[in-house]
Amino acid sequence: MVNRKATAALVTCAALMAATGCSSNFDSDKKTAQDAGSKQHLTVLIASSGDAETKAVKEAAAAYEKESGNTVTVDVAKDINQQLAQSFAGHKPPDAFYVNSDQFANYAKGGSLYPYGDQIKDADDFSEQLRSSFTYDDKLVCLPKDTSTLALAINTDLWKKAGLTDKDYPTTWAQLKKVADTLTTGKVTGLVTNGEYARVGVFMKEAGGWITNADQTKMTADSAQNAEALAYVQSLLKSGSMKFANQVDTNWGGEALGKGKAAMTIEGNWLTGGMKLDYPDVKYTAVPLPAGPAGKGTLAFSQCWGVAADSTHQAAAVDLVKYLTSSTQQLKNADAFGVMPSRTSALAEYAQQNPSAKAWVDASAYAQGPVTVAGFDKVLTQFNTDLATLGTADPKKILADLQSNGEQALAKGE
């Protein structure tokens, strides 16, 4: 979610663009002079999930330094959206950086990103769904650094304690409701997950709905399918068999699962790293999310490696990104902090090495990517605010507001 400071910074950037252009792309007479030296110093900005990710990126950068002769400084952002917006506005961005999917279109539309996709000879090794998330004006702008999907994670000790077996793993909404009821007892809630579209949205997909059409040119939020999905989630919330993470005094589903406050949660494969670090003694398994009226559904998440339009080291930065997104490095990252490779070839190898991640890996074949439309991050922020009240609010009103807000954003984004 984008905080107010980040939003303000983006507005500042937008204002500067209107006056002078937030990026050198807007002024052909002020093209950035490129450094063609044999040894260059690159700056990299990341938004780390924790010490394991930071360590992995810094080790990869150090290995690249030895191979290339270039030097690399890796900085960890406190608020990457805010820091990038400010650096773009001041024309002093890092050379390479993580780009969140909800901000990608804002940066691409503003001319802040250098589109290097056409320089990647094996770009088709990245799935079409992931490539489309980081394509703007029919150009692949930046490479997805990794990927994640959602699955149903189950505390196996609580599962057995409730008298359930492997045969009871839910494969339908009706079965999910039944086991959630069974597992809800005392201080344990059957299903706990974050109350945001990045979790609740799976039910919309499984009902045959989604926020926009496939090419993100039309809003499809206010539909009978989406209403059915939110009504189902609301029924679980009202029964008490499902709660949002903050309702059980936790920050996310993994914490609720680890502390024994949730018997099940809906989370991505980053859960493996979190559980290993914080709750190593808690036994759990991941199974596919139960199918809804329209079939299977899950969501895909990714960030891309952006290269700045204002960088004076674009060629070297692209070379660094190629190294960081190689199959070898992606598999190292997967082992280090739990993400899945964004390369199809590396994902296949990852699946062989990590059979316990099968539910997440298999879900990549039918995962729904994020909405990547300029200005849409604010729409999703409001949608998340509304979803937090789903237990008592009118699902149709939530969707009608999403539809209206989204239509305005799409009109502005054209």
Give the pLDDT confidence of 212-264 residue by residue, as tens digits: 999 999 999 999 999 999 999 999 999 999 999 999 999 999 999 999 999 99
The structure's pTM equals 0.86
What is d(CA 173, CA 247) in angstroms, rounded to the nearest whole number? 22
Report the phi/psi class of residue 23: left, alpha or beta, with left for phi > 0 and alpha for psi in -120 to 50.
Answer: beta
Beta bridge partners of 96: 44, 307
The predicted pLDDT at position 56 comes to 94
In a domain, 230, yes or no: yes
In a domain, 277, yes or no: yes
Token pair of 297, please?
């559904």
In this structure, are 384 and 307 located in the same domain?
Answer: no
In this structure, are 236 and 315 located in the same domain?
Answer: no
In this structure, are 279 and 306 located in the same domain?
Answer: no
Question: What is the span of the domain harbouring residue 342?
Answer: 31-147+302-368
In this structure, are 292 and 329 located in the same domain?
Answer: no
What is d(CA 245, CA 262) in angstroms, rounded to the nearest whole number? 9
In a domain, 319, yes or no: yes
In this structure, are 217 and 246 located in the same domain?
Answer: yes
In this structure, are 102 and 188 located in the same domain?
Answer: no
Here the CATH number for the domain that contains residue 125 is 3.40.190.10
DSSP letter assigned to residue 263: E
In a domain, 75, yes or no: yes
Beta strands in 123-215 (DSSP E): 135-136, 139-140, 143-144, 148-155, 189-193
The predicted pLDDT at position 78 comes to 96
In a domain, 14, yes or no: no
In this structure, are 192 and 312 located in the same domain?
Answer: no
In this structure, are 232 and 381 located in the same domain?
Answer: yes
In a domain, 18, yes or no: no
Question: How many structural domains comprise the chain?
Answer: 2
In this structure, are 329 and 390 located in the same domain?
Answer: no
In a domain, 218, yes or no: yes
The predicted pLDDT at position 277 comes to 85
Q: Which residues of the chain have pLDDT under 70?
A: 1-32, 414
Nearest to 305 by CA among 44, 6, 10: 44
Q: What is the pLDDT of residues 227-239, one digit of tens each?
A: 999 999 999 999 9
In a domain, 67, yes or no: yes
DSSP letter assigned to residue 295: B
The predicted pLDDT at position 414 comes to 59
The predicted pLDDT at position 25 comes to 41
In this structure, are 221 and 364 located in the same domain?
Answer: no
In this structure, are 356 and 380 located in the same domain?
Answer: no
